[in-house]
Chain A
Amino acid sequence: DARVTQTPRHKVTEMGQEVTMRCQPILGHNTVFWYRQTMMQGLELLAYFRNRAPLDDSGMPKDRFSAEMPDATLATLKIQPSEPRDSAVYFCASDLGGFGQPQHFGDGTRLSIL
């Protein structure tokens, strides 16, 4: 089965460090989403792309977060500088972009900022 691939699966780093999370969407999927999941806030949409163009990044703290799609096979989410409150599980999801298409999720990156 085709899957969304996220790396790394776990990341522990100190406050102030740059963090980069990567996502390889399913081949042929043209819409990519980044979510953050915490116990307190649940699933929050951070940003999403259609055909590599950012459509909405209103969920991201702009001063420290950035999301890009350098090409159709790679999406990145960067945090610089990282803070302890950024500790969460970050999910990438992709879909075909059509009406009713389900999202396919990666396994997530568990990020811990010390």
Chain B
Amino acid sequence: AQTVTQSQPEMSVQEAETVTLSCTYDTSESDYYLFWYKQPPSRQMILVIRQEAYKQQNATENRFSVNFQKAAKSFSLKISDSQLGDAAMYFCAYRSATGNQFYFGTGTSLTVIP
């Protein structure tokens, strides 16, 4: 089974600054998708961004962007101009082309300091 590793249990960032959350994964597949989900204290899981493995261009969504390094099996999330509302738990997830399951990392808790 695929594994997803988030090595940073907690991170903090000053408001308006930039922060990068790390994610690595283990797979032997060539086609797959990667996702970042945000879970604020309200506990709703919100899709932040997704990346197709066959696309070299890094995905971006407003202040959120990824650094996808396929050879290194790395998928980091960069949050620019951090806002108080960005404070949440962030989960990295993997979905293969051949399976139905999502594989989630253990999450990174992000604190935004005013």
Q: Which residues of A contact B (CB under 8 A)?
A: 31, 33, 42-43, 45, 48, 50, 55-56, 89, 91, 93, 97, 99-105, 107-108, 110
Contacts and interface: CB of A to CB of B under 8 A. Distances in A.
Chain A CB within 10 Å, residue with most, of B35, B44, B93: B44
Contacts of A93: 45
Interface of B: 31, 33, 35, 37, 42-47, 50, 52, 91, 93, 95, 97, 100-102, 104, 106-107
Which of A33, A102, A104 is packed against the most chain B CB atoms within 10 Å?
Answer: A102
A56 B101 contact: yes
9 contacts: A42-B107, A45-B102, A55-B100, A89-B43, A100-B97, A103-B102, A104-B47, A108-B43, A108-B44
The dominant DSSP class at the A interface is: strand
